[in-house]
Amino acid sequence: MAAPLPLKNVRVANFGWVWAGPVVGQTLGFLGAEVYKIESRSRIDINRTLPPFGEGVNDPDRSLQNHAGWAGNGSVTLNLKEPEGVELAKQIVAVSDVVIENFGPGAMEALKLGYDELRAVKEDIVMLSMPTAGLSGPLKNVRTYGMSLTSLTGIDSFTGYRDGPPVPVENAFSDPYNGIMGAFAVLVALTHRDRTGKGQHIDYSQQESIMQLAGPAFMDYVMNGRAATTMGNRHPTSAIAPHGVFRCQGDDRWISIVVANDEEWQGLCIAMGDPQWAQSSDYATSAGRVKHIDSLHEQLAAWVAGHDDHKLADLLQEHGVAGVPVSSIADLLADPHFKARGTYVEVTHPLGFKETIYGSYVKSNKFVAAVRPGPMIGQDNDHVFKDLLGLPEERYRDLIEREIIY
Amino acid sequence: MPEGALEGLKVVELGQMVSAPYCAKLFADFGADVVKVEPPDGDVARQWGPFPNDEPHPEKGGLFFFLNTNKRGVTLDVSEPEGRDELIELLRDADMFIENNRPQQMRDWGLDYDSLAIVNPNLVMVSITPFGQTGPYSGWLAYDLNAYHLSAAGHRYCGRPGEAPLEHGTFSADFYGANAGAAWGLAAVYGRAVVGGGQQLDVSCAEVIASVFTGCQNIGGYAQDGVYETRTGVGMPLGAPATILPCKDGHVWMLALQPGQWNALAKVMGNPDWMLLEQFQDMFVRAQNADAMYPLIEQWTMEHTKAEIMERCQEEGCPTTAIMTVPEAAEQPHLQERGYVVDIEHPVLGSMRTLGAPFGLPESPGGPTSPPPLLGQHNDELLSRRGRS
C-alpha cells in the first residue's frame, strides 16, 4: 500500500504565473502539499490562453499545455485590484506555510502583499520571490522572455553549430528548471524554519540559478581567460570523443553517440566491423580522438548513415557503446521506455474530455505522487473560502457577486 | 555567521561526472555534511578539465572544482568487501545517499535500495541515471548527450531544419536530473515521519526533460490532434521579432512582440518609416514577413554594440538583451554586487573563483566556502583502517 505523501502537512499560496511559478507549486503539489494558485478572471493568466485546446474549443479551462504545466496546483480566484481581494489573499497566507511569486521586483509590494505585510499575518512564512535577476542589483528590473533568459548567463553564446552563430533555443527551457529548483529552495527554507522557528524571504534570481549550467565554461574562463564558442553536440569540456549526433536512415532520424574511454572505443570498433580507418593511431587514445575529432566524426557519420536508429542503438549497446536514438515529439508517446515508466498519463478533465499530461516525473518506491488534471479556474473557491477561512455563506455569495472572488 | 539551513543533514554521495555530484553539491551549498565517495582513481570528472593552461592534473580540474565544493572526500573500492563495508558504515547514520551508477552495477555491489534499507530504514536514496531504474533502456549505457536527445528537446527546439538537433553546449540533462533529485530527495527527508521512513527516488534525466519541458509543451496536443512540430532555428516562428541577430560586437536576443515593445524598439531605432508599413503591424504578420523584416533590423543592429542595444531597449520597455559571452556574464557588475561569484583557496590551485549558491536565503546564507576534497583527503578522518585504499 502506498505511503502518505511527504508534504501533506504543507499549505502553499501560489501567486506564481505563466510557467516557472506554477511548476514550483506543481512539484510541491505532486509531493503532497495543498497548493492554491491565486489568480483572477479579471486578468486571465496568459498561460491559460495558449493553444492547442481540449477538443479544439478556445477556452481558458482547456489549454492542454497549461494543464500539463499547472497540474498539482489548485486554483482560487481573487481580484487583487480590490482591497477586499488583497485582504482575503492575506487571510489565505495567514493559514499557509509558503508563498510563491514570480513577478518583477516590487510587484507584490505594490499589491500590498510584500514580505513585511505577509509576515505581519504569518510570522514564520516562507516566501519565494523568483524574478528574472533577483530582488537587488543594477539589473534587477531587466526584462526577458523565458527563452531569452539564458542570454544573461553566457549559455546562449555557446549553443549552436561549431563555427556558426548562436542558435536560439525555441522555448523557455529555463522555466520548468527554475520551477523545480524553486521547490528545492522552498524545502531548504522549510527545513530551516522547522529547526529554528524562523521563516524567510528567498531571493531567487532565475539568472543565477540557470547560470549554474554554464559552470563548466565559467571555470574555463576563470582558469584560462577563454570565451566559450558554439559547441555543437561536442563534450562541454572537450574531454572525450566521439561525442555527437549522426544522421540515420529516414526523414530527420538521428542517433547520439558518446565514447567516454578506450574500452568503449574498442567496443565501437568491433560494432563497426573493425574498419581500417579506425585502426589509425590518431584514434588510439582519448586525447587523440579529441584532437582528431573532425575526421573521426566524418568517418563515423559515413558508417552511421543508412542505419535504422533503433536497430543501431541496439547494436551499439550490445557492444557497450552509448548509442541512443534521438526522439522527435511523436516518438515520445510511442517510446517503449516512456510507456513502461508511465511518463505520460491520460486523465479526464472536469469538463469531460480526456487529455494527456505528464505524470510523476520522479518515481518513488514508497508513495504515488498526487497527479491530477490541471486546475479549473476557481475550482477550490468553495473549500478555501468556506472551509478554510470560514466565510459565512451569505458573505461568500456577496463577494462572488461583487467580483471580489472572481 | 548564521548556520546553514541544512545543518545536521548527513549526505553520502557515490557519484561521478555531473548529475549526482551537482545534486549533492546543492545540499553542501546549504550546510549539509556531504561525504563524497570516489573510486581509488577518482571521479572521472577529475580528468575532464578544464585545466589551467590545458595541462591535465587530477587535482586541478575546473568542472570537478565547480561540482564538489563544501564536500569532504574519501576513496573506497566498493567492489571489494572491505570497501563496501566502509561505505555501509558511512550510510548507517546518513539521511541521504545520492548516486548515479548503473542500476545493475549497484545490484552487483550489493548497494541496491533493498540491501541498504536493512541497514538504515530511514535512508533516502536518490538515484539519478540517464534513463532510470526501470524500463527497457534502464540497462543501457548513456551519458548526458544521449539522455538529453531522448527527450526530443533538441529535435523540437534546438537547431536548424535538416541539420542535427543540438544540445545546449553543456550538461543540460544532468543538471535537470540533479535538480529534480534535490527537490524530491529533500521532500522525502522533510516528510520522513509522515511517509514512515526512508525510500528510493528514481530520477531519469531524460524523463524529467521529456516531462516538464517537451512533454508539457507538446504531448497534450500531439495525443489529441496527432500533429507535432520540429525545430526551426528561428526562435519564435509564430511571432516576430523573436530571434537572435548579429550586432556590431556579437549578438542580441531581439524581442519586440507586444505593441508597446514594438513601439519602444521603433523609438530606439529612430522611428524608421518601414516600421509603419502594414505588413509589420502586429507580431503575427511580422512573423509572416520575417524574411523581409529581419534584414532591416539587422542593418541597424550591425551599427550598434550589444550593450548599447540592450540598455536602450530595456530603458524604453523592449525586452531585447545582449547575448553575453561567458566572460561578459562572469564580469557583469550586477552579479558582483549580488555576491554571486566567490573566491576560494585551494591547496593545489591557489585562489580559485567559482559560482555562488543558486538562490539566496537571507536567514541562512549558502554557497561554496571550502574547496573540493583532494583525492582521499578525508580517509583518515572518516574511515576505519581496513577499507582505506
Q: Measured between CB atoms, does A68 come within 8 Å of chain B?
A: yes
Reported as a single tens digit per residue, the pLDDT across B334-376 is 999 999 999 999 999 999 999 999 999 999 999 999 999 999 9
* Shared-domain flag, residues A51 and A178: yes
Each domain of chain B, given as residue ranges in start order, spans: 10-213+339-387, 242-325
Residues in chain B closer than 8 A to A359 (CB atoms): 211
Confidence of residue B2 (pLDDT cuts 50, 70, 90): low
Residues in chain B closer than 8 A to A243 (CB atoms): 145
Position B3 scores a pLDDT of 80
Confidence of residue A179 (pLDDT cuts 50, 70, 90): very high
Reported as a single tens digit per residue, the pLDDT across A110-163 is 999 999 999 999 999 999 999 999 999 999 999 999 999 999 999 999 999 999
Distance in angstroms (rounded) separating the CA atoms of residues B242 and B235: 6
Q: Measured between CB atoms, does A2 come within 8 Å of chain B?
A: no
> Which backbone phi and psi does A385 adopt, to 5 degrees?
-80, -35
Residue B25 pLDDT more than 90? Answer: yes
* Over residues B122-150, mean pLDDT: 98
* Shared-domain flag, residues A120 and A69: yes
b/e burial code for range A132-141 (CB count within 10 A of at least 16 → b): bbbbebebbe
Distance in angstroms (rounded) separating the CA atoms of residues A358 and A281: 48
* Over residues A191-200, mean pLDDT: 97
Residue A134 lies in a domain: yes
* Shared-domain flag, residues A113 and A202: yes
3-state DSSP assignment of residue B51: coil
List the single residue in B with minimal CA-CA distance to A33: B187
Q: Which residues contact A42 (CB under 8 A, 6 or more apart)?
A: A79, A81, A403, A406
Residues in chain A closer than 8 A to B26 (CB atoms): 184
The CATH label, of 3.90.1150.10, 3.30.1540.10, 3.30.70.600, 3.30.800.10, for the domain at B242-325 is 3.30.1540.10
The number of residues in chain B equals: 389
The closest alpha carbon to B207, from A309, A180, A328, A341, belongs to A341
Distance in angstroms (rounded) separating the CA atoms of residues A273 and A262: 17
* Shared-domain flag, residues A273 and A385: no
Q: For chain B, percent helix, then strand, then coil, each to nearest 5?
A: 45, 15, 40
Residue A136 lies in a domain: yes
Reported as a single tens digit per residue, the pLDDT across A239-273 is 999 999 999 999 999 999 999 999 999 999 999 99
Distance in angstroms (rounded) separating the CA atoms of residues A333 and B223: 8
Confidence of residue A57 (pLDDT cuts 50, 70, 90): very high
Residue A222 lies in a domain: no
Residue A1 pLDDT more than 80? Answer: no
For chain A positions 293-332, those within 8 Å of chain B (CB to CB) are 313, 317, 320-332
Number of domains within chain A: 2
* Shared-domain flag, residues A170 and A48: yes
Residue A284 lies in a domain: yes
> Which backbone phi and psi does A13 adopt, to 5 degrees?
-100, 110
User: Which of B6, B62, B210 is nearest residue A332 as measured by Cβ atoms?
Assistant: B210
Is there a contact between B220 and A187 if contact means CB atoms under 8 Å apart? no
CATH code linked to domain B10-213+339-387: 3.40.50.10540
The closest alpha carbon to A157, from B154, B121, B246, belongs to B246
User: Which of A65, A154, A205 is nearest residue B325 as measured by Cβ atoms?
Assistant: A154
CB A188 within 8 A of CB A113: no
* Over residues A318-341, mean pLDDT: 98
Which domain covers residue A200, as residue numbers? Answer: 11-212+340-401
Position A303 scores a pLDDT of 98
Q: Please give, rounded to a whole number of angstroms, the shortest distance from the CA of A151 to a CA of chain B.
A: 5
Is there a contact between A4 and B175 if contact means CB atoms under 8 Å apart? no
Q: Using the Cα atoms of residue A394, residue A395, residue A396 and residue A398 in order, give the sign of their dihedral.
A: positive
Residue A335 lies in a domain: no
Distance in angstroms (rounded) separating the CA atoms of residues B378 and B357: 24
Residue A352 lies in a domain: yes
The closest alpha carbon to A396, from A387, B1, A343, A309, belongs to A387
* Shared-domain flag, residues A159 and A36: yes
Domain boundary residue, one of A325, A353, A379: A325
Mean pLDDT over the full length of chain B: 96
Confidence of residue B385 (pLDDT cuts 50, 70, 90): low
* Shared-domain flag, residues A258 and A304: yes
Q: Please give, rounded to a whole number of angstroms, the shortest distance from the CA of B187 to a CA of chain A.
A: 6
Position B386 scores a pLDDT of 52
Sheet with B242-247, edge to edge strand ranges: B242-247, B250-255, B321-322
Confidence of residue B38 (pLDDT cuts 50, 70, 90): very high
Reported as a single tens digit per residue, the pLDDT across B48-80 is 999 999 999 999 999 999 999 999 999 999 999
**Which of A188, A213, A355, A366 has the most B C-beta neighbours within 10 Å, making it the best mutation to test the interface with B?**
A188
In the block, residue with C-alpha cell 565559467: A218
**Position A176: which residue type?**
P
Is there a contact between B212 and A176 if contact means CB atoms under 8 Å apart? yes
Confidence of residue A185 (pLDDT cuts 50, 70, 90): very high
CA angle centred on A174, ends A128 and A9, rounded to 5°: 35
Domain boundary residue, one of A282, A302, A325: A325
Reported as a single tens digit per residue, the pLDDT across B283-316 is 999 999 999 999 999 999 999 999 999 999 999 9
In the block, residue with C-alpha cell 510584500: A114
Q: Is the ipTM of this complex over 0.90?
A: yes
Q: Which residues contact A3 (CB under 8 A, 6 or more apart)?
A: A366, A367, B195, B196, B199
- Domain of A180: which CATH number? 3.40.50.10540
CB A60 within 8 A of CB A49: yes
Rg (CA), chain B: 25
Q: Measured between CB atoms, does A20 come within 8 Å of chain B?
A: no
Is there a contact between A159 and B242 if contact means CB atoms under 8 Å apart? no
Q: Which residues contact B314 (CB under 8 A, 6 or more apart)?
A: A141, A142, A143, B320, B321
Distance in angstroms (rounded) separating the CA atoms of residues A189 and A186: 5
* Shared-domain flag, residues A275 and A312: yes
Residue A227 lies in a domain: no
* Shared-domain flag, residues A106 and A141: yes
The closest alpha carbon to B168, from A156, A216, A368, belongs to A156
* Shared-domain flag, residues A321 and A347: no
